[in-house]
Amino acid sequence: MKKIITCLIALTLSGMLLSSHAQEKKGQLWLAGIEVVKSEMLTQYMDLNKEMVAQCKTENFPYSFYIWTSGDFKYYIWYPIESYNDVTGIEKAWEALVAKWGPDKYKKFQECLEYSEEKIMINRPDLSMLPENSGMEEENFYCWWQEWYIKKGHEKDVEALVQQGNKILSKYGAINMGNGLTGFEQSVIILWIMGKDKNDFWMKDKAFWDQLDETSRNAFKKIDDELMTHLRKIVYKDFWWIKDISYEKK
């Protein structure tokens, strides 16, 4: 879980990623790590993660982290951070914890990994929709994630179209958007929507579009068609939150 220094130990993306309204309004920063696990080592990876989280609770580890998976042996570890200085703070906190947990166990953990990555992103409250009764207060274990890679010089056009679309879709449960700051191809806007599970998400999605009136539907389609002209590509992902190997500081 955690590659001290260049690696993160655990990351978030989740319903938990959507849990703090106050932080998001300020533009919450996220340090995000990706750990690609060897298929034959998955059981060992999960067992060691559970041990690591137990150690975090014992030692009152000072940073929260949330782990999600895309179901293809990739595990995404998200830390909510206040500034770039927290990256160094996380590194030092893991060094201290691993010293107590044991270098041998840490070595076994590293043997589970093919490789790891790091990224930093920030919430964009000005592009997000967080209406009341959005379901954000519930535990959401599924995330529908999109990465919109924008043509150079088209960033402001995309932002304006998103804001227009949000006015039409203002009754939608909750849509979060952010910018990938480092570790992503630039420029990128990221969209994520949560659900209790995958079935819950798609049932709500269908119900929403079914109740949208024809005028609103046509207006949104026009915006969506124009949006596509400003993008190089879109990447879609399914994520599932793994609660028992995630950690929230006291």
Per-residue pLDDT reduced to its tens digit, 19-72 = 333 344 468 999 999 999 999 999 999 999 999 999 999 999 999 999 999 999
Amino acid at 217: R
Q: Would you say 112 and 45 are in contact if contact means Cβ atoms under 8 Å apart?
A: yes
Q: Would you say 9 and 110 are in contact if contact means Cβ atoms under 8 Å apart?
A: no
In 10 A of CB 32, how many CB atoms?
25
Per-residue pLDDT reduced to its tens digit, 70-80 = 999 999 999 99
Widest distance between CA atoms in the chain:
63
Within 8 A by CB and 6+ apart from 143, the residues are 13, 14, 15, 17, 68, 192, 193, 194, 195, 238, 239, 240, 241
Q: Which CATH architecture has domain 21-123?
A: 2-Layer Sandwich (3.30)
Rg of the Cα atoms in the chain = 19
Please check the confidence at residue 7 and state whether its pLDDT lies above 90.
no
CA angle 208, 212, 217 (to 5 degrees): 115
- Domain 142-239 in the same topology as domain 21-123: yes
CATH number for 142-239 (one of 3.40.50.800, 3.90.1150.10, 3.30.70.100, 3.40.718.10): it is: 3.30.70.100
Global pTM reads 0.83
* Backbone phi and psi for residue 119, each to the nearest 5 degrees, phi listed first: -145, 155
